[in-house]
Amino acid sequence: MTQKILVLPGDGIGPEITAQASRILAACKARGLDIEVEEGLLGGAAYDEHGEPLPAETLEKAKAARAILLGAVGGPKWDKIEDLAKRPEKGLLGVRKQLGLFGNLRPAITYPQLASASSLKPELVAGLDIMIVRELTGGIYFGQPRGIEERDGERVGFNTYIYSESEIERIGRVAFEMAQKRGKKLCSVDKANVLEVTILWREVMERLAPEYPDVELSHMYVDNAAMQLVRAPKQFDVMVTGNMFGDILSDAAAMLTGSIGMLPSASLNESGQGMYEPCHGSAPDIAGQGIANPLATILSVAMMLRYSLDEPALAERIEAAVGQVLDDGLRTADIASEGTRTVSTAEMGDAVLAAFEAR
Ligand SMILES: NC(=O)c1ccc[n+]([C@@H]2O[C@H](COP(=O)([O-])OP(=O)(O)OC[C@H]3O[C@@H](n4cnc5c(N)ncnc54)[C@H](O)[C@@H]3O)[C@@H](O)[C@H]2O)c1
Ligand SMILES: CC(C)[C@H](C(=O)O)[C@@H](O)C(=O)O
Ligand SMILES: [Mg+2]
């Protein structure tokens, strides 16, 4: 059956990087992958056209798609929109929530060729392979009540950090199952020394553990986890955490791989429908220059093939092509080091495509 794929380029470097990833998708199609690809508007690009960051038409297309490839949304142009609901980021959060994409997988893998591009000592990161499992449709990002209002003569801002047992259990199961397929170690990250919501989080993780006797479960406070990620990151296999902690820790983990431009992601619901996007943002500081690293987005296509389209061989082929290009010494500016050849976004896309075709 033909599967629908929706590409949402978004803002800033979004269109530049999704253009390269789309070429890889097209190459998969040329090799017999039965997909139909269409594009849509999300974020600032959608706001400029329709006055909404998530127009009804985009949401409809997203619901009908088996998988979505997203570039990134947001940028200074839209940061002053007063109505928060109209900000580009709300469009992205809307797709995640509306499609129930609660399971966010963020793999931080340090390619051996890039160990020296990390800001940490190469021996600390060489061979690193961590999977961060982030809850994506709950927690403080969505909790009610929220707002800014006048109280006792001054304005107060407030959000609600809330998780139900069922929300914790469902992301916990994703993480335990992921650990079973990997190194069988799961570290649950919380702030159970202070926050009730994460006391419950820890309890639920403990309750699930006996169902996965082959997985070794540990717990860590988020502040320590941030420190351990830069002290000795290879101690981790799978990490599971809530929406906001996962956002922060995955950016920190990205730097272990050499650049945030290397970290792909998958956001999945219960039926395997997914949105695939790099973990980084729209990088307004380099947008339009043709120098952004497209590899996180290309590697997100590999995740799409693995998790939504059941094509693991094609996924491996893309990952191997990326490895090949790095072996050949090609680097975008963010991962360049002595002795490598600095290339543009499009040249990196050309090289990955050529390596993919040659395999
Ligand atoms: N998923 C998303 O769409 C997403 C994620 C994060 C941030 N954002 C939005 O993006 C905008 C910018 O946010 P920010 O500056 O905090 O984070 P950012 O990730 O866009 O950029 C942080 C730094 O990393 C660099 N960088 C990011 N991606 C890169 C790439 N592929 N190649 C080379 N360098 C890269 C940028 O140039 C910048 O110096 C904001 O509007 C934010 O809300 C969107
Ligand atoms: C843009 C923003 C809403 C988003 C998030 O916080 O989830 C981003 O930082 C991410 O990591 O995907
Ligand atoms: Mg983030």
Indicate if 89 and 111 belong to the same structural domain: no
Indicate if 126 and 234 belong to the same structural domain: yes
What pLDDT, on the 0 to 100 scale, is given for residue 316? Answer: 98
One DSSP character per residue, 67-93 reads: EEEEEE---GGGTT-SSGGGSHHHHHH
What pLDDT, on the 0 to 100 scale, is given for residue 71? Answer: 98
Q: Specify if 171 maps to a domain.
A: yes
Indicate if 202 and 127 belong to the same structural domain: yes
Scanning the chain, the segments in alpha helix (DSSP H) are 14-30, 44-50, 56-64, 88-98, 122-125, 165-181, 196-208, 222-231, 243-256, 295-307, 312-327, 345-358
Q: Specify if 248 maps to a domain.
A: yes
Domain boundary among 268, 289, 311: 268
Q: Specify if 273 maps to a domain.
A: no
Q: Specify if 96 maps to a domain.
A: yes
Full domain range(s) for residue 336? 1-102+278-359
CA distance 326 to 62: 33
Burial of 221 (0-12, 13-18, 19+ CB in 10 A): middle
Indicate if 175 and 241 belong to the same structural domain: yes
Q: Which of 284, 318, 293, 257 has its CA nearest to residue 127?
A: 257
Domain boundary among 233, 249, 268: 268
pLDDT in tens, 52-78: 999 999 999 999 999 999 999 999 999
Q: Are 198 and 181 in contact (CB under 8 A)?
A: no
Indicate if 81 and 181 belong to the same structural domain: no
What pLDDT, on the 0 to 100 scale, is given for residue 133? Answer: 98
Looking at the 3D structure of the chain, how many domains does it have?
Answer: 2
Q: Which residues line ligand 2 (CB under 6 A)?
A: 74, 89, 92-93, 247, 279, 281
Estimate the share of the chain in helix, then strand, then coil, as percent rounded to the nearest 5: 50, 20, 35
Ligand 2, closest atom to CA 136? 7
Q: With the C-alpha atoms ordered 178, 111, 300, 287, is the resulting torsion angle positive or negative?
A: positive
ipTM summary value: 0.98
What pLDDT, on the 0 to 100 scale, is given for residue 298? Answer: 98
Indicate if 117 and 215 belong to the same structural domain: yes
Domain boundary among 268, 296, 331: 268
Q: What is the DSSP letter of 284?
A: T
Indicate if 194 and 341 belong to the same structural domain: no
CATH number (domain holding residue 3): 3.40.718.10
Q: Specify if 28 maps to a domain.
A: yes
Give pTM, 2 decimals. 0.97
Q: Quote the Cα angle for 265-269-271, to 5°.
A: 125
Smallest CA separation from ligand 2 atom 6, residue: 247
Q: How far is the CA of 247 from the centre of ligand 2 (A)?
A: 6
Indicate if 139 and 251 belong to the same structural domain: yes
Indicate if 169 and 46 belong to the same structural domain: no
Q: Is 136 in the pocket of ligand 1 (CB under 6 A)?
A: no
Q: Are 101 and 275 in contact (CB under 8 A)?
A: yes
Q: Specify if 7 maps to a domain.
A: yes
Q: How far is the CA of 245 from the centre of ligand 3 (A)?
A: 10
CA distance 317 to 354: 12
Q: Which residues of the chain have pLDDT under 70?
A: none
What pLDDT, on the 0 to 100 scale, is given for residue 212? Answer: 98
pLDDT in tens, 162-205: 999 999 999 999 999 999 999 999 999 999 999 999 999 999 99
What pLDDT, on the 0 to 100 scale, is given for residue 168? Answer: 98
Choose, from 90, 111, 191, 334, the residue flagged as catalytic: 191
pLDDT in tens, 316-326: 999 999 999 99
- The answer to whether the annotation marks 15 as part of a ligand binding site is no
Indicate if 260 and 130 belong to the same structural domain: yes
Is-catalytic flag, 141?
A: yes
Q: How far is the CA of 16 from the centre of ligand 1 (A)?
A: 13
What pLDDT, on the 0 to 100 scale, is given for residue 268? Answer: 98
What pLDDT, on the 0 to 100 scale, is given for residue 189? Answer: 98
Choose, from 11, 190, 247, 334, the residue flagged as catalytic: 247
Q: How far is the CA of 279 from the centre of ligand 3 (A)?
A: 6
Indicate if 132 and 58 belong to the same structural domain: no
Indicate if 156 and 261 belong to the same structural domain: yes
What pLDDT, on the 0 to 100 scale, is given for residue 56? Answer: 98
